[in-house]
Amino acid sequence: MAIDNFPAQLQPIIQQGYLAREFTAGLQSRIAFRAIADREIFPNRIGESITKTRKGLKAPVTTPMNPSQNTNFDNGLTPSSWSVEQYTLSINQYGDTIDLNVVSEGVGIADQFLANANTNGIQALQSLDRIARNTLFGGGIGGVGGYIGGNTRVTTALSAAGADVAVDDIRGFLSLLNSSGQVVSVGQSSGMTVTVGSNAYTLITATADAVNVSTAPLGKSGTLTFSTSVAVSDAVAGSPVVASTAPLVLRPNNRLTTAQLVAPTGNYGSSTYVPGDTLGIQTVLAAVAALRMNNVPTIDGAYHCYLDDQQMLGLFRDGDFKYLYRGAYGSDTYRAGSVVELLGVRFIPTTEAPLQASLGAGVIHRAIVCGQGALIEGDYNGVVEIPDSDRALIENLDGIMMITREPLDRLKQIIAQSWYWIGGFALPTDATVNPSIIPTSTNSYLKRGVVIESL
């Protein structure tokens, strides 16, 4: 790469690779949600979407063949095929830039040059990590909702039986998979089975509110319309509304909705302390059991649990966790204040875990326990083919492009340091894995992650 057009004091930094190392150091500062994504090459252009098809399996055969029908060319067999399902992956371009004035920075130009590269690297990492997180929890374009979709509650009680029910979040109720494995809107299908309160109803359409008042992260408030009237006893304010294909959402003490979470009481360590609905090891193990029942593969031998430090604090206060580590208080787990790996789960604290404002009992925290294949990352395959230029330095670092442009202004004083990434994330479904294939599996479309809500 040509570096003659850059100031002399910056050329050694570029020549020895310091600039790229500073950018990479920022990229590696705190990898979380993006780390679980399976990487794929996206052959289309920016702004386009591609629908990918995933094949299912065939149900096991447990009935013996009838010897009297073992005749002719087909030997009495009827051909069967495996089912398919589809998910949509879209890519867009993300990026930012920062300027460096070689005159105003004076003798500190080299340090500022490296600082800008490091800051860009951290920003790029956080941006991609947040896009991945938003896809996990909020769903993607053309999808069936994220891992908290299809789990909501009634916001306005019905005074009389009616077909329209106002809910806090309509994600997970907008689309479903048809018999061909294609994602279609609920209105284009025969309906979705949804449990409101204690009874099941058939959902025929979901409409978003003109003004979004949802309390859930990335949520969309709206109205669900059913084919029959919903009973008043089922549509009480705060009643759970759960789609039959919704991902599993766990809460301590089997709370049915987010609003039912109960805050701790008393002072921690006192005889009157009651932990309330904080994160405990038993809830995590329930999530692991659900993943194993769906035969979700692990990531390097363990499931990943992404959580914030407040949830980690609740874990350390959990009685079962303390009993497990009794006599091991000098372990790295307690000295470092974090769990590395425990009971088949790798705990990864992150500051990007989504928080929800209090509904009366305190801030609501969400952890997600997931296995391999929970997230797909599509990287534009043409990103490395962008030609170099005599007027810019281009580095490809883990799919993120770092661009350093020489001064092009009239006074030749301003260097531009930029980054961009072309790609996107998607949530692949596993609807074809049903109890006929794996007897212990669930009906959830999204089976590779379990969200845990707690205080």
β-strands 376-380, 38-42 pairing: parallel
Residue 10: pLDDT band (50, 70, 90) is: low
Domain boundary among 244, 270, 293: 244
Q: Is residue 339 included in any domain, yes or no? A: no
Per the CB < 8 A criterion, the answer to whether 402 and 355 are in contact is: no
Per the CB < 8 A criterion, the answer to whether 85 and 181 are in contact is: yes
Q: Is residue 274 included in any domain, yes or no? A: no
Q: How many percent of the chain have pLDDT more than 90?
A: 29
Q: pLDDT at position 180, please? A: 67
pLDDT in tens, 94-123: 999 988 887 776 556 777 778 888 888 888
Of 315 and 196, the structure prediction assigns the larger pLDDT to 196
* Nearest-angstrom CA–CA distance, 443 and 450: 14
Whether residue 95 is found in the same domain as residue 173 = no
Of 264 and 81, the structure prediction assigns the larger pLDDT to 264
Q: Is residue 331 included in any domain, yes or no? A: no
* H/E segment holding residue 404: strand 400-405
pLDDT in tens, 251-296: 999 999 999 998 888 777 677 777 788 888 899 999 999 999 999 9
CA distances from 108 to 4, 5, 10, 119 (A): 20, 19, 11, 16
Whether residue 26 is found in the same domain as residue 114 = yes
Of 353 and 339, the structure prediction assigns the larger pLDDT to 353
Total of domains in the chain:
2
Of 345 and 111, the structure prediction assigns the larger pLDDT to 345
Whether residue 184 is found in the same domain as residue 102 = no
What single-letter amino acid sits at 314? G
* Nearest-angstrom CA–CA distance, 22 and 274: 47
pLDDT at 236 over 80: yes
Q: What DSSP letter does each residue of 93-147 carry, written as one string?
A: EEEEEEEEETTTTGGGHHHHHHHHHHHHHHHHHHHHHHHHHHHHHH--TTSS--T
Q: Is residue 119 included in any domain, yes or no? A: yes
| Secondary structure (3-state) at 213 | coil
Whether residue 125 is found in the same domain as residue 220 = no
Domain that holds residue 115: 8-57+83-141+377-426
Give the pair of three-digit tokens for residue 255: 């709370």
Whether residue 12 is found in the same domain as residue 137 = yes
pLDDT at 336 over 70: no
pLDDT at 388 over 60: no
Q: pLDDT at position 293, please? A: 92
Q: pLDDT at position 321, please? A: 73
Whether residue 137 is found in the same domain as residue 155 = no
Whether residue 19 is found in the same domain as residue 137 = yes
Residue 401: pLDDT band (50, 70, 90) is: confident
pLDDT at 318 over 70: yes
Whether residue 45 is found in the same domain as residue 95 = yes
Q: Is residue 214 included in any domain, yes or no? A: yes
Q: Give me the sign of the Cα torsion angle 393, 395, 399, 403.
A: negative
pLDDT at 339 over 50: no
Residue 369: pLDDT band (50, 70, 90) is: very high
Domain boundary among 227, 244, 261: 244
Whether residue 202 is found in the same domain as residue 88 = no
pLDDT in tens, 28-79: 545 578 888 888 776 666 655 666 666 556 666 666 777 777 777 667 666 6
CA distances from 89 to 29, 296, 422 (A): 27, 21, 13
Q: Is residue 319 included in any domain, yes or no? A: no
pLDDT at 152 over 90: yes
Residue 1: pLDDT band (50, 70, 90) is: very low
Question: Among the listed ranges 103-112, 366-375, 397-406, which one has the minimum average pLDDT value?
Answer: 103-112
Whether residue 50 is found in the same domain as residue 106 = yes
pLDDT at 430 over 90: no
Domain boundary among 200, 218, 244: 244
Q: pLDDT at position 335, please? A: 47
pLDDT at 320 over 70: yes
Q: pLDDT at position 224, please? A: 95
Of 282 and 26, the structure prediction assigns the larger pLDDT to 282
Residue 15: pLDDT band (50, 70, 90) is: low
Q: pLDDT at position 404, please? A: 83
Whether residue 230 is found in the same domain as residue 128 = no
* Nearest-angstrom CA–CA distance, 273 and 252: 17
Residue 89: pLDDT band (50, 70, 90) is: confident
Q: What residue has token string 């029959």?
A: 228
The rounded mean pLDDT for the chain is 80
Q: Is residue 381 included in any domain, yes or no? A: yes
- CATH assignment at residue 12: 3.30.2400
CA distances from 447 to 248, 303, 375, 405, 440 (A): 8, 13, 11, 45, 12
* Nearest-angstrom CA–CA distance, 316 and 399: 37
Q: pLDDT at position 232, please? A: 95
Residue 157: pLDDT band (50, 70, 90) is: very high
pLDDT at 141 over 60: no
**How many of the other CB atoms lie within 10 Å of CB of 79?**
5
Q: Is residue 234 included in any domain, yes or no? A: yes
Q: pLDDT at position 269, please? A: 67
CA-wise closest residue to 152 among 89, 87, 99, 222: 222
Cα 404 off chain centre by: 32
Whether residue 99 is found in the same domain as residue 37 = yes
